[in-house]
């Protein structure tokens, strides 16, 4: 996350100072090769994709159950089919939860992947796999091993308009309690990690503190520091025919634009939005976060994640879903409806998923103890079958991709992997997923481990 602090030491977001960068960079050229060093330090603007699309990811942290949301099994035994029945949508043949009446009216605007799977029930392993396309993390070692897809998008695309961060998290970036979690830049550097807006977009007089100068730092002092850094670096320009320093200066300029420019302040000013539009999304944190995400992509952000956490319903599923699903329903309906109203539906892709799903068979609410000792029945971890909703930005709406068996336990048609999801998102963004980055050891690593574009959707 980028912050402007009054105690800045002149270091970049990855913690490396200009002088230190030049020291390790020049020394490293002899061992790793000049080309490798330059590729590792390249700026995305030098190879900006031709498309002008953006992505909003509604991240359902904790793992929502496919059989209670988008893949109901009304003919399965009661302990599998659960509590709610499916309802028809405006697309013949597509049914979703009865707790999604608003989405049922706009099912032609999105498609549902019902055969996504990675077969892992560990929160951390699942989130890492879903967001980076690779394994490596788990409950015993939760560290991020590879950059998240949103960080890669920020590196490859930059912001779609100047004066706004490319990668933004609303209200914050988190996976299973880790911040920024697996949305971070990893070996790409913190520069490409998320800018977290913080706070509650539903609060009265909401403001994003990071867009204001921290610690009493005035614009005059900030400008003076930039001038000082420019003069101190002047003697090193003869060593920098590569353009690396120029690339770093562009990051400095983006940071300066963020805190001084009108575009960012206008985008974050959700209070200026028409009250009727705010009502459309729902007057709660999830709805207003989705609205703020729309404002940010409209202003030029490339990838905005919206954290909607708390889906770990091992018990008391009925209470949890009857609270969460109506909120999600209104937020999703509001987002797709609003994007269409503004003519942004072909430019903004919306993705809805969590790290895994929940067990098709409900438990007894005991969590290892007597039945009902922890509450009413719920569902446990399940990565063998899950969903992903995708729409907008060029994605075909009103489609169902894949199918699970009669009990919802595993895909039986058109299995889809996290790598397939990544390929499809990068396609919409205009990014070539065949490219590679250098990891911490200097080894090239492909953007996506496996998979292919979900052709039915594009």
The model's pTM is 0.84
Tell me the two tokens of residue 49.
Answer: 């994709």
Residue 333 Cα to chain centre, angstroms: 19
Select from 53, 196, 149 the least CA-distant residue to 353: 149
For tokens 């330090």, what's the residue?
A: 41
At 207 the pLDDT is 86
Tell me the pLDDT tens digit for each residue of 303-348: 999 999 999 999 999 999 999 999 999 999 999 999 999 999 999 9
In percent, the amount of the chain with pLDDT more than 90 equals 73
Tell me the two tokens of residue 219.
Answer: 């614009």
In percent, the amount of the chain with pLDDT more than 70 equals 78
Tell me the two tokens of residue 147.
Answer: 């950059």
SS3 of residue 381 by DSSP: strand
**Cis preceding linkage at 171, omega within 30:** yes
Whether the pLDDT of residue 32 is over 80: the answer is: no
Tell me the pLDDT tens digit for each residue of 274-293: 999 999 999 999 999 999 99
Whether the pLDDT of residue 2 is over 60: the answer is: no
Tell me the pLDDT tens digit for each residue of 97-110: 999 999 999 999 99
Answer yes or no: is 384 within a domain: yes
Whether the pLDDT of residue 47 is over 70: the answer is: no
What's the angle, vertex CA 435, arms to CA 432 and CA 437, rounded to 5? 140
Tell me the pLDDT tens digit for each residue of 187-204: 999 889 999 999 999 999
Mean pLDDT confidence for 417-426? 98
At 172 the pLDDT is 95
At 18 the pLDDT is 35
Tell me the pLDDT tens digit for each residue of 237-286: 554 554 544 544 555 555 566 655 678 889 999 999 999 999 999 999 99
Number of separate domains in the chain = 1
Answer yes or no: is 33 within a domain: no
- The residues, any chain, with a CB within 8 Å of residue 174's CB and separated by 6 or more, are 61, 180, 181, 307, 309
What are the Cα distances from residue 175, in Å, to 42, 89, 308, 376, 411?
Answer: 28, 31, 10, 26, 25
Q: What average pLDDT does the chain have?
A: 85
- CATH code where residue 319 lies: 3.40.720.10
Answer yes or no: is 230 within a domain: no
Answer yes or no: is 223 within a domain: no
At 265 the pLDDT is 85
Mean pLDDT confidence for 120-138? 97
In terms of DSSP H, where are the helices of 34-189? 34-40, 66-69, 78-81, 101-104, 123-132, 149-157
Domain housing 437: 42-207+269-457
How are beta strands 357-358 and 400-401 bridged, if at all?
Answer: unpaired
Q: How far apart (Å, rounded) are the C-alpha atoms in residues 306 and 308? A: 6
Answer yes or no: is 58 within a domain: yes
Answer yes or no: is 164 within a domain: yes
Answer yes or no: is 328 within a domain: yes
Answer yes or no: is 21 within a domain: no
Q: How far apart (Å, rounded) are the C-alpha atoms in residues 296 and 337? A: 16
């Amino acid at each position: 996350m980028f912050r402007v602090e009054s105690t800045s030491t002149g270091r970049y977001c990855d913690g490396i100072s200009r002088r230190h960068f030049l020291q390790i960079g020049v020394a490293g050229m002899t061992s790793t090769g000049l080309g490798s060093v330059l590729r590792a330090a390249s700026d995305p603007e030098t190879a900006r994709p031709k498309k002008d699309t953006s992505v909003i990811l509604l991240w359902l942290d904790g793992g929502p159950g496919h059989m209670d949301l988008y893949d109901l099994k009304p003919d399965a035994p009661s302990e599998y089919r659960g509590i709610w029945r499916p309802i028809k949508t405006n697309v013949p043949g597509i049914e979703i939860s009865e707790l999604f009446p608003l989405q049922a009216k706009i099912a032609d605007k999105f498609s549902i992947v019902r055969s996504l799977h990675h077969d892992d029930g560990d929160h951390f392993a699942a989130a890492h796999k879903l967001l980076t396309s690779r394994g490596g993390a788990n409950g015993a070692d939760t560290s991020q091993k590879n950059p998240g897809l949103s960080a890669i998008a920020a590196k490859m695309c930059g912001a779609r308009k100047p004066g706004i961060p490319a990668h933004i998290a609303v209200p914050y970036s988190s996976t299973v309690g880790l911040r920024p979690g697996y949305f971070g830049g990893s070996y790409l550097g913190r520069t490409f990690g998320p800018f977290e807006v913080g706070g509650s977009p539903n609060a009265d007089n909401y403001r994003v503190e990071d867009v204001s100068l921290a610690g009493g730092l005035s614009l005059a002092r900030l400008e003076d520091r930039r001038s000082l850094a420019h003069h101190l670096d002047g003697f090193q320009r003869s060593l920098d025919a590569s353009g690396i320093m120029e690339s770093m200066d562009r990051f400095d300029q983006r940071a300066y634009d963020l805190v001084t420019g009108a575009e960012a302040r206008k985008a974050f000013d959700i209070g200026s939005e028409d009250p009727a539009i705010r009502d459309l999304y729902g007057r709660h944190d999830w709805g207003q976060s989705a609205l703020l995400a729309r404002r940010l992509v409209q202003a030029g952000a490339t990838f905005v994640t919206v954290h909607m956490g708390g889906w770990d319903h091992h018990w008391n599923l009925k209470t949890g879903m009857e609270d969460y699903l109506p909120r999600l329903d209104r937020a999703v309906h509001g987002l797709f409806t609003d994007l269409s109203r503004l003519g942004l539906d072909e430019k903004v892709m919306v993705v809805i998923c969590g790290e895994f799903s929940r067990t098709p068979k409900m438990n007894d609410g005991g969590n290892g103890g007597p039945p009902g000792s922890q509450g009413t029945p719920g569902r446990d971890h399940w990565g063998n079958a899950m969903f992903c909703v995708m729409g907008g930005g060029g994605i075909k709406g009103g489609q169902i991709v894949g199918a699970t068996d009669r009990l919802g336990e595993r895909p039986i048609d058109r299995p889809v992997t996290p790598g397939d999801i990544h390929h499809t998102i990068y396609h919409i963004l205009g990014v070539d997923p065949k490219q590679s980055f250098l990891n911490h050891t200097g080894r090239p690593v492909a953007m996506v481990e496996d998979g292919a574009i979900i052709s039915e959707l594009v």
